[in-house]
Amino acid sequence: MPSYWLMKSEPDEASIDDLAAAPGQTFGWTGVRNYQARNFMRDAMHPGDGVLFYHSSCPEPGIAGLAEVVSHAKPDPTQFDPSSPYFDPKATREAPRWVGVDVRLVRKTRLLPLAAMRAEPALAAMQVLRRGNRLSITPVTADEWRTVCALLDTGPPAG
DNA sequence: GCCAACGTTGGC
DNA sequence: GCCAACGTTGGC
């Protein structure tokens, strides 16, 4: 049984189009510097899990596509790179602190805006929509996953 | 740029 | 271990 996740990315840094253009339409998810989000990747994510690719901190925040986890967690190389904004001087190759998984595009979708997600009763309990939520990776239930896919398939409400 | 929310840091 | 100060996230 796959699990489902919502993963936030700032499109200026890594957008759904960047994922589509990447070799194999796959890239490593780097830059997570929050322990809870890290632990999801390290402990709970498995190849085959579904990913809602979410654009954050941008003019139109929302779900921009579907992706898939294709690796287990492995050390995030940016923690070792002094020129990276994600450099962590306390991380060593012997004892890496931060990990990431590889994510592959399934398909780019129309944008499902944050406001539309909030307006959908079936998504009312979605963790990413909780007041004050700042986690960049949150679990998604199978029901929420199906609801999002249905919304993406049916397009925006008429009118 | 504002601000709510919440994570992290560090003195004690 | 407490908790105040500070930093970050992210929508608006």
Q: Where are the domains of chain A?
A: 4-151
Binning pLDDT at 50, 70 and 90, where does residue A78 land?
very high
State, as a whole number of angstroms, the distance between the CA of A134 and the C1' of C10. 7
For the entire predicted model, the pTM comes to: 0.93
Q: Region A78-85: what's the mean pLDDT?
A: 90
Q: Region A83-104: what's the mean pLDDT?
A: 91
Position A49 pLDDT exceeds 60: yes
CB atoms within 10 A of CB A29: 24
| Strand C interface, A 115-134, C-beta < 7 A | 115, 118, 134
Closest CA relative to residue A100, chosen from A56, A69, A130, A122? A69
What's A4-151's CATH class? alpha beta
State, as a whole number of angstroms, the distance between the CA of A133 and the C1' of B3. 15
Q: For residue A134, which nucleotide's C1' is closest to its Cα?
A: C9
Q: Is the CB atom of residue A132 positioned under 7 angstroms from any atom of strand B?
A: yes
Q: Is the CB atom of residue A35 positioned under 7 angstroms from any atom of strand B?
A: yes
Which pLDDT does position A159 carry in this prediction? 46
State, as a whole number of angstroms, the distance between the CA of A38 and the C1' of C8. 16
Position A113 pLDDT exceeds 80: yes
Which pLDDT does position A158 carry in this prediction? 53
Task: Give, for A152, the enclosing helix (H) or strand (E).
Answer: helix A142-154
State, as a whole number of angstroms, the distance between the CA of A155 and the C1' of B8. 41
Which pLDDT does position A90 carry in this prediction? 85
Which pLDDT does position A92 carry in this prediction? 87
| Strand C interface, A 65-94, C-beta < 7 A | none
Q: Is the CB atom of residue A58 positioned under 7 angstroms from any atom of strand B?
A: no
What's the CA gap between A69 and A92, in Å, rounded?
A: 25
Binning pLDDT at 50, 70 and 90, where does residue A2 land?
confident
